[in-house]
Amino acid sequence: MSALADVMKGVAADMAGRQDELNRLDAAAGDGDLGNTVAIAAQAVRAAIDGSDDADPAALLRRCGTDVATAAPSTTGTLTARGMLGAARAIGGAPGEPPVRLLYLGFAAALAAIQAAGKAAPGEKTMIDALAPAVAALSDHADAGAQLSDALSAAAAAARLGAEQTKDMTAKAGRARWLAERSQGAEDAGARFVALVLESAASRAHER
DSSP the chain: --HHHHHHHHHHHHHHTTHHHHHHHHTTTS-S-HHHHHHHHHHHHHHHHHT-----HHHHHHHHHHHHHHH--SHHHHHHHHHHHHHHHHHHT-TT--HHHHHHHHHHHHHHHHHHHH---TTSSSTHHHHHHHHHHHHHHHHTT--HHHHHHHHHHHHHHHHHHGGGS---SSGGGGGTTTTTTSPPHHHHHHHHHHHHHHHHHHH-
Residue 174 clears pLDDT 80, i.e. is over it: no
What is the mean predicted confidence (pLDDT) over 38-64?
92
20: confidence class by pLDDT, cuts 50, 70, 90? very high
Nearest to 60, CA basis, from 71, 50, 72, 49: 49
Distance CA 53, CA 181 (A): 48
pLDDT digits (tens, 9 = 90+) for 113-168: 999 999 999 999 999 999 999 999 999 999 999 999 999 999 999 999 999 999 99
Mean pLDDT, rounded, of the chain: 91
pLDDT at 114: 97
pLDDT at 186: 85
In Å, the largest CA–CA distance within the chain is 48
Contact (Cβ atoms closer than 8 angstroms) between residue 66 and residue 78: no
175: confidence class by pLDDT, cuts 50, 70, 90? low
Residue 190 clears pLDDT 80, i.e. is over it: yes
Q: What share of the chain has pLDDT > 70, as a percent?
A: 92
2: confidence class by pLDDT, cuts 50, 70, 90? confident
pLDDT at 208: 67
Ordered structural domains, the chain, with CATH: 3-207 (1.25.40.340)
What is the mean predicted confidence (pLDDT) over 71-77?
95
